[in-house]
Structure 1
C-alpha cells in the first residue's frame, strides 16, 4: 500500500521555549499526523549544531542536540522549578539561537545539579560508551578552552596523547559528567517520544549527514579516517562545483574521507553510526549518497573553481550497511538528475528519491513517470517552499506547470494545492511533503538556502497553524490517493 508523510524538523515544532523539543508539542504534532492520514514523519539530523546552526555539520555525528531536551520533562522530574523556566515563545516563527546559547546551558546545568544521577548504574554504563565518552570529554575541553576548535588546543590534546586525556578527564570530571548527562536525558526523551509516535502507527525517518565538520568529535577522535596531513590539517576540503542555482560552487570546509582506512577497518565507524540510527529511527535518509561515487575536492583555502573529482568507495559502503542492517529502510538522497546515484540505490537495495521542483526546473522526469518504488517529494530542506517556488517563476515557467496540471488557474495558492494533490496521486510508494507546503507558506518559511548564512534553519510553525480543517483536507487527499492509514495502528 502507498504511504505518505510530512517533512518537519524537530526544531520547527511549536514548543514553548524557543525551539522544538521532545515535549507535548511533539506528541500533539504526531497525533495530528495520525488524524490527517499520514504514516511517516521525516525529520532533519538531530545532532548538536555549531557555527551556522546547520544540522548537516554537527559537533558530533552520533550525539543529540541538547536544545531538544524537554524542559517540561525536567520540571516534572523536579530538576527545574516552574519559576525557573523562561517565558514561553509560542507565537514566534523563528528559532533564536543566540538566546538559546545564552540561556539553555544554565538550565541544563541546574537540572544536572539536582538530578542525583551520577551514581546511577545505568548512567555510569551509558557514560562508558565510546561515542558518549568521546563527546563528553570533547565538549568539556571545548568549554575549558573558551570554545576554541580542537585544532587550536595544546598539542598533547590535539594529538590525543593518553596521559593528557587521562589528566583532562580527572581535572574536568564534573564537566564531562554534565555533557554525558545531556546525552543520557536526550536519548531517554527521544526514545520515549519515538515509542509514542510509533504507537500511533507513524514511523520516523531520520537523516544522516554524509560529511563530518572539521571541528567535530568525529575528526578529533578518529583522525585516521579523514584525509589529513601529519599535523592533522586539511589540505583539501569537500564541496561541490557550480551549477545553475550556485554558479560559483560551494566549499563546505569539511575534510574528505580516507576511504582506504574505512575499508580496512571493515566500515566499523559507519556501521556504528547506522547501529545508532537503527535504534533512533524506523528508516533513514542517507544525505549526499553520491559522495560514495565521488567527492569534489578543493585545495585548502581555494575557490570551488579550483576543485576536482576524486573517487569514493562506490557501492562497497552501502553494500556493507545493507548487509549489517537488512531491515532498515535506507533512502538515498537524489534529486532524480543523477542516474549513477539511481544505479547505486538499485545495486544496494536502497530506495531512490525524486523531487518535483527539480523535475520542472531541469526538465527531468515528470511525476507521472516517477518509479513506483521511489520516494517522491515536492521539495527538500535545501529548496524553496512550493509557494515560494511558484511565486518566483517566470510567466513561461508557470505556464509549463499549468499545462502539466491541465489547469488555467492563476492563483498561486490554488496551484500549490493542485501540485500537492497531483504528487500524492502518483504511483510512488512513498510521498513526503514538507509541512510548509501544506501550510502554503512563502519563502519566509524556507529552511535553508545553500551557500548562504543568516536566516537558515530558523523556521518554526505557530501553534494553531496545523488546524482541524487542514487535517481534514490532508486526510481526504490521502484517502483519495490510496494513502490511507488503517484505523488501528
Structure 2
C-alpha cells in the first residue's frame, strides 16, 4: 500500500485541507461517521491522494484544535454515535435525560449509555480489543482519564487551581481520586477506545483507496493539559508549577502585536537528559494515526519566542535557542525516515532553514504570500524546489476568493502579470498554479475547491470568536468543480 513507500513526500501528489469538524452533519459538527467515508470517496474519485486535517485533540471551550487537554487523546466529540447504534450498544430511542446541556455533554452522556450496551452485548473479541487498547495506551491514557475526571469535578478549572495534594500529584490523593471517580474514569477511557477504533477504521479505508492521512502536531501543548500536570519537569515551570514565560510569536503578517499563545516552554535541558523520551512518545502516537505529519511552528525547534508571563502581548519577548538538531537526530534514530513537513512560515532565519534542510524536511509555500513587490519572494513558484508543500492558503488564511477580493489593484495586477493575464478566475487560477508547480505536494483548502468567499474562512489568528466552526455541505460542490479539480490532478501528474 502507498503508506509503505520509503519517502511519502518525494512523489507528486495533490491534497485537500479539511478538518473533521468541517464535514457535513445535520446535527452538529462533523464526525468520523458516514460523511468522512464519503469524503474519502470524493478524494479517490477526483484523484486526490492526501487528506490533511487539523489536530484531532480534545479542545478547550474555544474549540481550537491547537490548544488541547492532551497531546495524545482524540476528541470524543468526533465519535459517530450512529455507529454505536449500528453495533447495538446504543438504542435508537435512547436520550440523555439527565443532561440538558446538549453538545459535548450530551455526547458524553450517550457514550456512557453505549458503555453499558458494550458491556452487555460486545463480543469477546471486542472486549479483548478494549483491554488491549487500555494496556497499549496506558503510558498516557491513565493520566489523561484521571485528569479529565478531575477537570470536570472542579468545574473545568486548570490543574494549578486544584487542591494542593491533587495539584502536586500526591500518591494518596491520586489513589483516592481514582477510587472516587472510577465510574466516570471508565467512561472517559471508553471514549478514547471508541475514537481510536473509529479513526483507525477510517485510516484503513482511506489507505485502501490510495488516500494518505496528513496530520498536524502543534509544537507546544496547553498549560491546562494532562501532559503538563503529569510531566511538570518537561516544561519551564517554577517550584509551584506556574509559568514565568509563555510561548508565542513576535509581530508578523498576521498581527501587529504578535501572538501571545500562553503555552509553557520546554525545559530542553531535562528533555536532553531523558533522551527526548517525552517527544518520542508523542511522535509515536501520531505516526500510528497518520501517514504524514506537519510540525506546526517548526522554527521553535531552532529558537522559540519567550514572552514574560506578565505581558499582555507578544511584543516584549526574546528568542531562546532550542536543540533542534539533537531532537530531530534522536527522533530519526528512533523512527527512521519520518514523513515530516516543517511549517516554516513567519520570521525564518538562515539557521531555521539550515535545520530543516539538514534533515531534508519539506517546508511550506503559500501562494497568498507570494505577490509582494519583490521577484525573489520565496513563495513565488519560480523560487520553489521539489521538496516543499505548496498551499493556495492554510486554515489561518482567508479563502483565496476572500483574499483576492481584499487586496488592492496594484497587488491584483501583480498576480495577473506574474501568471500571464490568464482567463481563469480565482480560486482555480491559484489551484492550477499550485498543481503545476514543481512542489511534490500541493494542498488546497476545501473552501477553495468550493470557490467560497471570506465569510467561510476557518480561523482568524489573534481572535477568539467565530473560529473553527466552518462546515461545508455537498450541495455546495458542483459537477463543474469536480471536473475541474479532477482535470487539474491529471494534467499536472498529481
Answer yes or no: same fold by TM over 0.5.
Answer: yes
What is residue 140 of structure 1 aligned with on the other side? 149
Q: Does 1:436 align with 2:447?
A: yes
Among candidates 108, 111, 118, match of residue 108 of structure 1: 111
RMSD, aligned CA:
1.9
Aligned length: 469
**CA separation in 2, counterparts of 1:26 and 1:481?**
27
Q: Does 1:123 align with 2:130?
A: yes
Among candidates 302, 307, 314, match of residue 317 of structure 2: 307
Q: Does 1:354 align with 2:365?
A: yes
Q: Which moved more, 1:197-206 or 1:413-422?
A: 413-422
Instruction: Give 3-state SS (helix, strand or coil) of 2:261's partner.
Output: strand
* Residues 83/469 of structure 1: CA separation in 2 closer, same or farther (3 Å cut): farther
**C-alpha displacement of 1:240:** 1.2
Q: Which moved more, 1:464-473 or 1:127-136?
A: 464-473
**CA separation in 1, counterparts of 2:383 and 2:316?**
37
Q: Does 1:238 align with 2:229?
A: no
**C-alpha displacement of 1:361:** 4.7
Instruction: Give 3-state SS (helix, strand or coil) of 2:15's partner.
Output: strand
**C-alpha displacement of 1:242:** 1.1
Among candidates 325, 332, 336, match of residue 335 of structure 2: 325
**CA separation in 2, counterparts of 1:57 and 1:253?**
10
TM-score (norm 1): 0.92
What is residue 455 of structure 1 aligned with on the other side? 466
Among candidates 373, 397, 400, match of residue 386 of structure 1: 400
What is residue 92 of structure 1 aligned with on the other side? none
**CA separation in 2, counterparts of 1:103 and 1:176?**
17
What is residue 288 of structure 2 aligned with on the other side? 279
**C-alpha displacement of 1:105:** 1.9
**CA separation in 2, counterparts of 1:304 and 1:403?**
37
**C-alpha displacement of 1:103:** 2.5
Instruction: Indicate conservation of the 8 Å contact 1:15/1:23, yes or no.
Output: no
**CA separation in 2, counterparts of 1:46 and 1:127?**
19
**CA separation in 2, counterparts of 1:99 and 1:421?**
43
Instruction: Give 3-state SS (helix, strand or coil) of 2:294's partner.
Output: strand
Q: Which moved more, 1:280-289 or 1:71-80?
A: 71-80
Alignment deviations for residues 108-128 of structure 1 (CA, whole Å, 9 cap, x no partner): 222123221899343234334
Among candidates 206, 215, 218, match of residue 206 of structure 1: 215
Instruction: Give 3-state SS (helix, strand or coil) of 1:305's partner.
Output: coil
**C-alpha displacement of 1:362:** 7.7
* Residues 407/73 of structure 1: CA separation in 2 closer, same or farther (3 Å cut): same
**C-alpha displacement of 1:99:** 4.9
* Residues 54/277 of structure 1: CA separation in 2 closer, same or farther (3 Å cut): same
What is residue 427 of structure 1 aligned with on the other side? 438
| Unmatched segments (≥5 aa) in structure 2 | 1-10
Alignment deviations for residues 345-371 of structure 1 (CA, whole Å, 9 cap, x no partner): 211232222111122258422113211
What is residue 486 of structure 1 aligned with on the other side? none
Among candidates 29, 33, 41, match of residue 31 of structure 1: 41
**C-alpha displacement of 1:272:** 0.7
Among candidates 379, 385, 406, match of residue 371 of structure 1: 385
What is residue 478 of structure 1 aligned with on the other side? 489
Q: Which moved more, 1:306-315 or 1:172-181?
A: 306-315
Q: Does 1:14 align with 2:14?
A: no
**CA separation in 1, counterparts of 2:53 and 2:411?**
30
What is residue 62 of structure 1 aligned with on the other side? 72
| Unmatched segments (≥5 aa) in structure 1 | 87-97, 484-489
Q: Which moved more, 1:65-74 or 1:351-360?
A: 351-360
Q: Which runs of 4+ in 1 moved over 6 A?
A: none
Q: Which moved more, 1:236-245 or 1:52-61?
A: 236-245
**CA separation in 2, counterparts of 1:419 and 1:85?**
47
Q: Does 1:294 align with 2:303?
A: yes
Superposition pairs for residues 121-270 of structure 1, below 5 Å? Answer: 121-128=128-135, 129-270=138-279
**CA separation in 2, counterparts of 1:244 and 1:421?**
25
TM-score (norm 2): 0.91
Instruction: Indicate conservation of the 8 Å contact 1:322/1:349, yes or no.
Output: no
What is residue 487 of structure 1 aligned with on the other side? none
**CA separation in 1, counterparts of 2:332 and 2:351?**
18
**CA separation in 2, counterparts of 1:186 and 1:218?**
19
Instruction: Indicate conservation of the 8 Å contact 2:252/2:347, yes or no.
Output: no
Instruction: Indicate conservation of the 8 Å contact 2:254/2:461, yes or no.
Output: no
**CA separation in 2, counterparts of 1:229 and 1:404?**
53
